[in-house]
Structure 1
Amino acid sequence: MYRKAPKPPIDEVVSWRQSLKKLQESKTGQLAFREFLRTEYSEENILFWLACEEYKTITTSNEIAIAAKRIYTEFVQVDAPRQAVSFITQFQINIDCGTRQEITNSMSQPTLSCFDKAQRLIYKLMKKDCYPRFLKSEIYQGLLEPSEAS
């Protein structure tokens, strides 16, 4: 869990204000943002985005098919299961029905780009909606405070 992780250096935390991209480049930033999204019941956004980033690194067609099915089942399909997987409850991501249908159609022969449009939509949602609230959140503001060890 994030709260047990060591506090990152203040300059790193301050750098997260530059952009959502800068925040996501930091493992600690990802964890803090994920904790924030969990409090807003929208953790599936970062989990989907991260799953897509990992998916793009797959090199064999068999692995692509397996991973595509997992991402589709966990995040895309209508009524995606609300199941506990590694202590995470996962929900269907909020994308338009056209994008969802495009992905559904691609599942018979998934490619490394089959989730790209949905990933871009989720990124825009996080950037426009969640990220500004994260910067104002107690989670982020708490990381800006000097630690007791200083």
Structure 2
Amino acid sequence: MNSIDLTPLYRSSVGFDRFASILDRALTSDVSGSGYPPYNIELIDDDKYSITLAVAGFVRDELDIQVEQGVLKIRGRHKARKDRKFLHQGIANRSFERQFNLADYVEVTGADLSNGLLTITLVKEIPEAMKPKTIAINDDVRVIEHKADDSKAA
């Protein structure tokens, strides 16, 4: 698959280079990749989200959650269990890795494992310095008077 030319985006915007690389990676990634484990992304509130993965059969110490450079990575690795002998094994017992690109200022605030569902909570916290602010326009007109330089007049 060919990459999209994002040159027009760069001509009229500043700071979208990360967005362009995310878009390019999404378009060139393997579409036929594994859908395991299935997941939901939910908008809880204007600035709160959750990602829920179905991780049946995994225990807490077999799951690893990391955030690095704006990418949330969730890995599941089953530990070897030699004491089990299956007559039929229909439940997936495979390792996985899922990645989610996080927007600027989205932070992972917690994770919970309950009933085979791993729920990761996220919050978008824009710093005060980045929030829009209204600038008051001063109506005072100030007249600056220039005094004649007496040393040049002599």
Considering fraction of residues, name the structure with more strand.
2
Higher radius of gyration, 1 or 2: 2
Counting helix residues as a fraction of each chain, which structure ranks higher?
1
Larger RCO (CA within 8 A; separation ≥ 6) = 1
Fold match (TM-score > 0.5):
no
